[in-house]
Copies of this chain bind each other. A is one copy, B any other.
Amino acid sequence: MPRTEAASTMAPPRHSYHSEPTEIESLVAAVDARICLFLQTESDRVRRQDPRLVEPIEAIRAMSSAGGKRIRPMFCFAGFLAAELTAPQDELVNAGVALELLHICALVHDDIMDASSERRGSPSAHVQFGTQHQKRRWHGSSEHFGTSAAILVGDLALIYSDRFMPRRGALDDIWFRLRADLVLGQYMDVRATAENIADVRLARWVAVAKSGEYSICYPLLLGATLGGKPELAPLFQGYGIAVGEAFQLRDDLIDVFGDSRIAGKTLGQDLRQGKMGLLLTLGAQRAPEIQDMIGHPDPEVGAAQARVALRESGAVDEVEGLISDLVARGCASVDGAPISARWKQWMHTMAHDVAYRRT
């Protein structure tokens, strides 16, 4: 029988991101403090030159302090701590800062590409700069100014990010692949949407590149490598790729069925733009009329129809089933690992947290 309730209500009791061990909590707090201090120092430096130069730095600061789950730094710290290493706190925090600033770059640039107007409960960067332009009645197109400024904000966040990642052999390789594959995954996403490709294999690869590897697998590997235990790589890879795909599949469900007031970001983009993630790809295979609903002249009508059809076709159930399998597979891959029961428990909890979150 097809489900009719909101996808998010299917989730098991929600675990809190605050269930993590105190070490991770305090490292995350140190990341936030260091980002704040760094941006303050940069602002002070450039303000002496011209107060307007502070604006792109301020945009990064606002994004950072507006929230965000800090998932990538958390997995990086877990990768280190699970290996039972004593933290050279400074390097570890720097790696967390690098991951978080890189994520700000990805969000700012993605929001331009997806024409998303909201992020972390505020207008997205290109919208903020565009609005500023309009309010002050500056010359030229406000939209174009917003896009230009946001491209530069993202570039700056990418450059700042790079300033923090500790550099040496194996770390360098992981950091490089993490970033290059993030960009290539996003290109494939944009490209497949334009071409309207509905291909299960491709949709799953994009999810792995953009989320599995970028958000979970590589951060874990960075942590283990920082601690000099790269031998944990295969274990973390198994966990990261499975749980990361679950993370992305939940993202797809939230985009279609979620509440943007809770998510704090623009939702419904996949239906509006015909972005063929796994959910829509499976839906279109099971019920080809979903493709017409996505292209409906009135996007709101089309989206409402598609939501019903996605449920009735069984595509939602199939994705929920896959999420459940992926979480189980991810958890199984840490069970036999040479890490303590406490960290196994943490990784289980996190797998459920990211796979069944609502934002």
Measured CB to CB, the residues of A under 8 A from B are 42, 46, 49-50, 52-53, 55-56, 105, 109, 112-113, 115, 133, 136, 138-140, 144-145, 147-149, 151-152, 154-156, 158-160, 162-163, 167, 172, 176, 179-180, 183-184, 186-188, 190-191, 193-196, 202, 205, 273-274
Contact = CB atoms under 8 A, between A and B. Distances in A.
A246 B199 CA distance: 54
Given A147-B147, A151-B112, A187 B139 contact: no
A50 B202 contact: yes
Contacts of A194: 133, 138-140, 145
Contacts of A140: 193-194, 273-274
Contacts of A191: 52, 55, 149
B152 A186 contact: yes
A196 B148 contact: no
**Max count, chain B CB within 10 A of own CB: residue among A50, A56, A112, A159:** A159
Contact of A187 (B152, B180, B190, B202): B152
B188 A53 contact: yes
Contact of A138 (B55, B155, B196): B196
Contact of A109 (B42, B155, B187, B190): B155
Given A113-B151, A167-B167, A180 B159 contact: yes
Contacts of A163: 172, 176
Instruction: Report, nearest first, the 3 A-B pairs whose CB atoms are least far apart.
Output: A138-B194, A113-B148, A167-B167
A155 B108 CA distance: 12
**Max count, chain B CB within 10 A of own CB: residue among A113, A158, A194:** A194
Contact of A53 (B179, B187, B195): B187
Copies in the complex: 2
B56 A183 contact: yes
Contacts of A196: 138-139
Contacts of A56: 183-184, 187
Contacts of A152: 109, 113, 183, 186-187, 190
A162 B172 CA distance: 10
Nearest to A152: B187
A197 B191 CA distance: 39
Given A113-B152, A158-B159, 4 more contacts: A56-B183, A147-B147, A155-B155, A162-B162
A156 B180 contact: yes
Given A109-B151, A139-B196, A159 B183 contact: yes
A42 B184 CA distance: 11
A140 B56 CA distance: 29
A173 to B, nearest CB: 9
A176 B187 CA distance: 26
Contacts of A49: 205
Given A115-B144, A138-B195, A139-B193, A180 B160 contact: yes
Nearest to A173: B163
Nearest to A144: B115
Nearest to A181: B46
Contacts of A155: 105, 109, 154-155, 158, 183
A281 to B, nearest CB: 15
Nearest to A180: B159
A273 B145 CA distance: 12
B156 A183 contact: yes
A246 to B, nearest CB: 21
